[in-house]
Amino acid sequence: MPPILRHLNHQPYADTWQAMQAFTQQRSTDTPDELWTVEHPPVYTLGLSGKREHLLNIGDIPVVHSDRGGQVTYHGPGQVVIYTLIDIKRLPINIRELVTLLENAMIAALADYGISAQARADAPGVYVQGKKIGSIGLRIKNHCSYHGLSLNNAMDLRPFTLINPCGYAGLAMTQLADLGVHVATAEAAALIIDKITPALQP
């Protein structure tokens, strides 16, 4: 069964996070997987291993301590965010394979736009000419994932300069708009979902 798609439009990060937790807690072995697309107002999120020392000069942008994996990142308007609520035991895949699946989906979508991108073994995510364009942060509970991926489309990248993105000092970020690709965020999200969905068929 293909995953159910939910387009949440613009939603606060904390509200969406709580909804993911509730969905994951209540789901059964028969619950269909879901993919949620959303854009968030400006927010920094600290993962389970996140350290506040990576927040450098963040001003009045709020910080949320999240239960996803990874360090600190930024979400804001103009960024593709896809949350992957997947029963990985049913597929079956492990966490590393799910990360690779999401990386490959972003890389394939970028290739459709004529952009050559790569994953890095030492730092999960997707990179174009050494700059990060896509990030992944997941939480697994009872063999089910939530949280997911983000891809920078057409956003204000300056807030990334006020942190050590993903815990890496000086990590440069990029986005589709800076690479000459100008598309609606919903269109970019739909393309990535098209790359994810075939891999979610048990």
Position 58, amino acid: I
Q: How far apart are CA 61 and CA 29, in angstroms?
A: 39
Q: How many CA within 13 A on the CB side of residue 179? A: 21
Q: How far apart are CA 118 and CA 130, in angstroms?
A: 9
Q: Looking at 107, 128, 166, 200, which residue is catalytic?
A: 166
116 is in an annotated binding site: no
76 is in an annotated binding site: no
**Spatial CB neighbours of 78, under 8 Å, sequence gap ≥ 6:** 39, 152, 153, 154, 155, 156, 175, 177, 185
28 is in an annotated binding site: no
Among residues 131, 46, 137, 48, which one has the least CA distance to residue 95?
Answer: 137
68 is in an annotated binding site: yes
Does the active-site annotation cover 166?
yes
71 is in an annotated binding site: yes
Count CB neighbours of 182 within 10 A: 9
148 is in an annotated binding site: yes
75 is in an annotated binding site: yes
66 is in an annotated binding site: no
78 is in an annotated binding site: no
136 is in an annotated binding site: yes
Q: How far apart are CA 155 and CA 190, in angstroms?
A: 18
By annotation, the residues acting in catalysis are 166
Q: Per the annotation, where are the binding residues for substrate?
A: 68-75, 135-137, 148-150
Q: Per the annotation, where are the binding residues?
A: 68-75, 135-137, 148-150
